[in-house]
Amino acid sequence: MNSHFQYHVFFCLNQRENNEACCADKGAEAAFDHMKARIKKLGLSGEGKVRINRAGCLDRCNEGPVLVVYPQAVWYTFIDNEDIDEIIESHILNGKVVERLVV
């Protein structure tokens, strides 16, 4: 099977009501913007390379914020841009899972 992208990254950007735990309240949108910009700046975006996508609820609200990298289906949590940069450097550029951020 041939994948359209080497890596496909989905960020949960879901906003829940009634003060329920959700990724949107934990900086997911800013992290998404940061990763998308970095991937583009590094020349990694596009067919056969990397795609960064928004996602609705990924149903891991209490572990969030979360993103998932396919095709390996590796789930990550993150706190700041440094964590996102580490995921890019280690996983996207070098194929090594960032174990400390795995959910």
Residue 1 lies in a domain: no
Q: Does the pLDDT at position 91 exceed 80? A: yes
Total of domains in the chain: 1
Range of the domain at 16: 7-101
CATH number where 68 lies: 3.40.30.10
Model-wide pTM > 0.85:
yes
Question: For the residues 39-59, what does the mean pLDDT come to?
Answer: 96
Would 14 be classed as within a structural domain?
A: yes
Place of tokens 């996602």: 55
Reply yes or no on whether the pLDDT at 1 is more than 70.
no
Higher pLDDT pick, 90 / 17: 90
Is residue 98 scored above 90 in pLDDT?
yes
* pLDDT per residue as tens digits for the range 71-85: 999 999 999 999 999
Identify whether 24 is part of a domain. yes
Q: Tell me, yes or no, whether 61 lies in a domain.
A: yes
Quote the CA–CA distance of 25 and 39 in Å, as a whole number.
23
Indicate the residue type of 36.
Answer: K
